[in-house]
Amino acid sequence: MTIAGTIESARKIVIKIGSTTLAKPDGTINTAFMEDFAAQCAAMITGGGKHLALVSSGAQVAGVSTLDRWARKTDMNYRQALCAIGQVELMNRWNGAFREHGLHIGQLLFTKEDFNDERRSLNMRNTLFTLVDEGVIPVINENDSVACDEIRIGDNDNLSALTAILWNADALILFSDIDGIYTDNPKTNPSAKLIETVDSIAALRERVTIGKANDFGSGGIATKIEAAEKLCAYGIPLILANGGRDNALASLASGELRGTLFLPEL
């Protein structure tokens, strides 16, 4: 199975956009990217018959764009307040980008507790299905403004995986600032090789060097592998690719863009 083939056969797809993909080099939100990405999603929905749910990082990035005087504050109260401000701006930007194509969005904010509670999980699932059935794109994020360590998922890679499982998705696409899983960090080791297909995560862990997250995002290679482990247990493939490439979503679907495809283990 190829990445393009996986996308073609999938009807319900969860797409995660990382903070590094949404941020410009100065740390503010990249509106041009969001508009272009919304156009690609619209083409898949209206032209390809796909059902999409979007997991969008970037509340803190959007908060910095809106109120940059708090950009360097590290106190947790300020960071959570910044996310509260930024979440509004983030949704406004996504709403405007999708509205250009006649599409509406609906915001969903989750915490770990929501997935662990049977009644909440059922309500979340029902809301997801209702939004998508009515042609509305769910835009999901962790509820960073209220979440503490005890109820935080901690990164949107794992949040995306939990959402895909909850929704019975056919595939999850993680867009990050890397082209996929490499044998080593390609930013520091030019000899690192892209691993295009993974059919054994246990073997992958022995093969790759796992580094740390970058400045903007809360995830890294480790969280992407954790997300793949969750999904593969439910028979859902995961695709990891570079969201900063031109027309990343459309190029993945056409087979022009390379990435890493995690296949469920048989």
Instruction: Express each pLDDT in 19-36 by its tens digit.
Output: 888 888 877 788 999 999
Give the pLDDT of residue 22. Answer: 85
pLDDT tens, 197-218?
999 998 898 877 665 544 333 4
Nearest-angstrom CA–CA distance, 64 and 59: 9
Share of the chain residues as helix, strand and coil, in percent rounded to the nearest 5: 45, 20, 35
Give the pLDDT of residue 74. Answer: 64
CA distances from 181 to 51, 121, 198, 208 (A): 26, 31, 9, 8
CA distances from 98 to 94, 103, 105, 184, 258 (A): 6, 5, 7, 37, 26
Three-state SS at 52: strand
- List per-residue pLDDT tens for the chain, 266 residues long: 899 999 999 999 999 998 888 888 877 788 999 999 999 999 999 998 999 999 998 776 666 666 665 556 666 677 777 778 878 888 999 999 999 999 999 999 998 888 989 999 999 999 999 999 999 999 998 876 565 443 345 588 999 999 999 999 999 999 988 899 988 877 788 888 899 999 999 889 887 766 554 433 344 788 899 999 999 999 999 999 999 999 999 999 999 999 999 999 76
Mean pLDDT across the chain: 86
For CA atoms 14, 20, 23, 29, give the dihedral sign: positive
Q: Are the beta carbons of 13 and 41 closer than 8 angstroms? A: no
| Residues with Cβ within 8 Å of residue 106, at least 6 apart in sequence | 127, 131, 136, 137, 138, 139
Give the pLDDT of residue 68. Answer: 62
Which residue bears the tokens 């100065």? 26
Superfamily for domain range 3-262: Acetylglutamate kinase-like (3.40.1160.10)
Give the pLDDT of residue 174. Answer: 96
Q: Are the beta carbons of 37 and 249 closer than 8 angstroms? A: yes
Give the pLDDT of residue 151. Answer: 35
Give the pLDDT of residue 247. Answer: 95
Domain spans, the chain: 3-262
Nearest-angstrom CA–CA distance, 142 and 74: 19
